[in-house]
Chain A
Amino acid sequence: MKIIIISGICLLMMALIYSCESDSTIEFKRYYSSGAVVYQQHCQNCHGSSGEGLAALIPPLNDSTYLKVNKNSLPCIIQNGLKSPIKISGRVFSGNMPASGLTPIEITQVITYVGNSFGNKLGIVSDDDVGVEMAKCNSPL
């Protein structure tokens, strides 16, 4: 009998905790954790486990200004890769980034993860926002 009461209380508390979180927060957490897996599989080799990049060869992802300013161009860069040089905190990187082959939803997930890790605070990134940008991408080279 005691066990039933205790587990009942536990369930009630859990339900309370869950209802405290808004839908968008749950969605954000879901995207963030899926994005972490996408990052490990597709990005980490080059950009490093803490987004540190590699010397002057591979740009870091821990410069919060670059990602914030270029937030809208991230989906297309991830989809098609990058061939033109970019400048991050005064340093020029001129290597090629290969196209990722990720699906739009994976791109949203990985932007959510990178955009809120390594010192970045982009906040929630929605499928819709990413979709709008990707519709404007030039076709892959």
Chain B
Amino acid sequence: MRKLTGILLLLSLFSACKFNGDKKTLPILGNRQPVTKTVNGQQVTDTVYQTIPEFKFVNQYGDSVGSKNLQNDIYVTDFFFTTCPSICPTMQRNMLAVYKAYKDTADVKIISFTIDPKHDTPPVLKKYADNLGISGNSWWMINGDRDSVYQLANSYLVGVKADSSTPGGYMHDGYFVLIDKNKHIRGTYDGTDTKQVDQLIADIKTLKAEPTAK
């Protein structure tokens, strides 16, 4: 009898753990640095997480937009180009699912950077967006200076480069990157994998429920 009580007690402990685990928070990804400062005469060590640097480019409507417009938004980023014959159609098909889930949510956006800005001018991006069936301001297709965009991709932990041996001329990762309102990277997802994209859609909800410390 005593044994049974013990087992029951253990079981209840386990279920208690599980219950607490439901309320999960997303990790902060990227580089981190400990910073020691003196506050009120005491040494305090804090962790400073990598943030997405400021940027300012042009969207598919020809409007000048950038990180300043995203200060109060959670957003998902990917890198693509409109003439991409390989993974992009699959990525955009999956990103459409994210768009459909959050297009009416004011503080959730999608930011797609073209890595072929010479071809993908704002009018080309606008036509592409129209053909994808997206409208409004919840999904921006961004055209920026090539080198700046490539550099920015590194900040998002996404690898891109021009490569003539790849079909279409550019090589890039198919990652979707989730950014919070503090410009921290909170998740990376394989944009060609519907299961991971479903996880992203769920994680945005988790992130939205997080109290924002600004």
Residues of A within 8 A of B (CB): 45-46, 48, 54-58, 95-96, 98
A58:B89 contact, CB within 8 angstroms: yes
B167:A57 contact, CB within 8 angstroms: no
Min CB distance B163 to A, Å, is 17
A95 to B127 alpha-carbon distance, docked (Å): 11
A45:B133 contact, CB within 8 angstroms: no
The answer to the question of B128 belonging to the interface, with a C-beta cut-off of 8 Å to chain A, is yes
Number of residues of chain B lying within 8 A (CB) of chain A: 15
Chain A residues near B89: list those with CB within 8 A: 45-46, 54, 57-58
A45:B87 contact, CB within 8 angstroms: yes
Min CB distance A83 to B, Å, is 12
The answer to the question of B70 belonging to the interface, with a C-beta cut-off of 8 Å to chain A, is no
Chain B residues near A57: list those with CB within 8 A: 89, 92, 128, 131-132
B167:A98 contact, CB within 8 angstroms: yes
A56:B131 contact, CB within 8 angstroms: yes
Residues of B within 8 A of A (CB): 83, 85-87, 89-90, 92-93, 96, 128, 130-133, 167
A56 to B131 alpha-carbon distance, docked (Å): 5
Please report whether the interface of chain B is mostly helix, strand, loop or mixed according to DSSP. helix
Chain B residues near A54: list those with CB within 8 A: 89, 92-93, 132
Min CB distance B42 to A, Å, is 57
A54 to B134 alpha-carbon distance, docked (Å): 12
B90:A45 contact, CB within 8 angstroms: yes
Chain B residues near A46: list those with CB within 8 A: 85, 89
A57 to B85 alpha-carbon distance, docked (Å): 12
Q: Nearest residue in B to A47 (C-beta to C-beta)? A: B89
Select A55's contact among B83, B86, B133, B167, beta carbons within 8 Å.
Answer: B133
A55:B87 contact, CB within 8 angstroms: no
Chain B residues near A45: list those with CB within 8 A: 86-87, 89-90
14 further A-B contacts with Cβ under 8 Å, apart from A45-B89, A54-B93, A55-B132, are A46-B85, A46-B89, A48-B93, A54-B132, A55-B96, A56-B130, A56-B131, A56-B133, A57-B132, A58-B89, A95-B131, A96-B83, A98-B85, A98-B167
Min CB distance A140 to B, Å, is 15
Q: Nearest residue in B to A57 (C-beta to C-beta)? A: B131
A45 to B132 alpha-carbon distance, docked (Å): 15
Min CB distance B94 to A, Å, is 11
Chain A residues near B167: list those with CB within 8 A: 98
